[in-house]
Chain A
Amino acid sequence: MIRTGVRIGVLLYLILAVAPNVNALQLLLVPQSVYVLPDTPSKFDVYVYNDTKHSAEVPSLESFVATYVLRSRDGGKEMAVHKVGRVFSHSLMGHKLAPGNAEHTTMELPIDTGQYDLVELDIHVGEEVKVQSNTVLLLADRTSKGRGPGAKVDKPAPASSPKAAVTPEGKS
């Protein structure tokens, strides 16, 4: 019994030791604002982090492909997939990232929300070896233009609130 347990333990250790480290690089996508404004590119911070004990090859962050789909608040969605890519006439070489280190860059993306309310977006970098980011959820803001990240956000009045119920004449 003990011998079997030891064998299983050794086997598990060997599997873990020789298995490729698939978590070599983490690509973190962070929007600078959750709102997507009309005719205004959305800005993102992008971090790539080497979560291994070895240097890892990082594809150039200047060339990327973003993927987004549009949804409405009622659960409907646009029957389309959007791809926004930044491509260069000559492939950009990657570089090494030391273990435990991270790099930061920023990028802007034109996002056309049309009549939809929500944007579900992720990016990936690299061609042969792709590094995929997390997915972020953004809100389409069709009511204002040029609202900065620090601007005050007006909360919509609920339908049952006094503000919504009272007309200019005083009663609804």
Chain B
Amino acid sequence: MSLRVLPLLIALALCLAASSQAALFVAAPPASTAAPSTSENASTAFFESGSESQIGLLCGNDPLDKTDPTGLDFRGEDVPFQFVPKIARKLGQLDEFGETEFSLDAKVRYSPTADGFVVRMDKLNITILSRQVQTESNVRGHDRARSQEAVDATVKHEKLHGKDAKDFHDANQTRTFPGRYPTEKAAEKAANEAGEQIMREFKENQKHVPAEKWQAILREERSQ
């Protein structure tokens, strides 16, 4: 066994020790498709404090209360904006002045019909968990306060993301996916792919399109 595997085993042991109930694994970790990088600029230490993300940040502190069990409402439009000098992302970076965090909860059902299985959306909850706006920008290596107009434009920007998300939510509540599947197994696979498709489409929905809708706001945000 390679010594490089040792940290992972230690981590696993620590984790299991913290929990009194052991996890039941039903499958080994499948191979990643990530390509190795040759760059050596990282020195991320195991268990370094910066690698711990915050549960509250991930889940908006109270994800269940913000979940819509019926899938009929878009939630979180009243989530207040947090104004911060810089948006802290311990993992990853941002090249924007604002950020909205969404939770998507989709249930894709497959049902038998006379000529095979069909796939349709059974439930789609979208919830805004958090919204942040940056009050400083970095110009040529120096942090400086953003103008009130620029900050307001970022608020407008993030609200527009919320509106796009709501439109997506409303448009997909009763969505059906084309195709008939001869077996239950094929239908389950199709339902899984439909769920992935929904996630992909939502990410596309957030990509500042059409450009003309966003141009003015983006310009205002960059004004100092």
Q: Is the CB of B24 within 8 A of A136?
A: yes
Q: A: which residues have CB within 8 A of B?
A: 20-28, 30-35, 39-41, 43, 45, 47, 49, 51-52, 54-62, 65, 67, 69, 79-108, 110, 112, 120, 122, 126-127, 129-138, 149-151, 153
Among listed B29-37, B135-143, B144-152, interface-contacting one: B29-37
A79 to B120, CA, bound (A): 11
Asked whether, in the complex, the Cβ of B184 is within 8 Å of the Cβ of A79, the reply is yes
Contact A30 B32 (CB under 8 A): no
* Beta-carbon contacts under 8 Å, B76-110 to A: 89, 91-96, 98-110
Q: Which residues of B contact A (CB under 8 A)?
A: 4-5, 7-8, 11-12, 15-16, 18-48, 51-53, 55, 57-59, 63-64, 67, 69, 89, 91-96, 98-111, 122, 129, 158, 161, 184, 187-188, 191-192, 194-196, 198-200, 202-203, 206
Query: Which residues in A have their C-beta under 8 angstroms from that of B103?
Result: 84-87
- Known contacts: A30-B12, A80-B110, A110-B105. The answer to whether A105 contacts B19 by CB under 8 A is no
CB of A124, distance to nearest CB on chain B (Å): 9
Closest beta carbon of chain B to A44's beta carbon, Å? 9
Given contacts A88-B100, A89-B161, contact A104 B51 (CB under 8 A): yes
Q: A55-B42, A57-B37 are in contact. Are A33 and B21 (CB under 8 A)?
A: yes
Q: Which of B44, B101, B102, B161 contacts A97 (CB 8 A)?
A: B44
Task: Check A104 against B101 for contact (C-beta < 8 Å).
Answer: no
Q: Is the CB of A97 within 8 A of B95?
A: no
Interchain CB contact under 8 A, B7 and A89: no
Tell whether, in the assembled complex, residue B35 and residue A60 are in contact, meaning their CB atoms are under 8 Å apart.
Answer: no
Given known A55-B38, A85-B199, contact A41–B29 (CB-CB < 8 A):
no
> In angstroms, how far is the closest chain A Cβ from the Cβ of B177?
12
Q: What is the count of residue pairs linking A and B with beta-carbon distances less than 8 angstroms?
A: 280
Task: Name the one of B53, B69, B192 contacting A81, with C-beta atoms under 8 angstroms.
Answer: B192
Is B96 a contact partner of A55 (Cβ separation < 8 A)? no
Contact A87 B102 (CB under 8 A): yes
| Complex alpha-carbon distance, A130 and B41, angstroms | 22
**Among the listed A24, A52, A81, A95, which residue makes an inter-chain contact with B191, where contact means beta carbons less than 8 Å apart?**
A81
Closest CB-CB distance, B223 to chain A, in whole Å? 19
Question: 5 shortest A-B CB distances, which residue pairs?
Answer: A96-B42, A92-B92, A60-B92, A83-B195, A100-B4
Of the candidates A51, A126, A136, the one whose C-beta lies within 8 Å of that of B25 is A136
B111: A residues at CB distance < 8 A: 79
Q: Knowing that A62-B58, A149-B18, A149-B19 are A-B contacts, what are 6 other residue pairs whose CB atoms are under 8 Å apart, sorted by A's residue number?
A: A60-B91, A82-B106, A95-B44, A107-B53, A112-B69, A127-B203
Residues of chain B within 8 A (CB-CB) of A100 are 4, 7
User: Looking at B8, B36, B110, B203, which has the most chain A CB atoms within 10 Å of its CB?
Assistant: B36
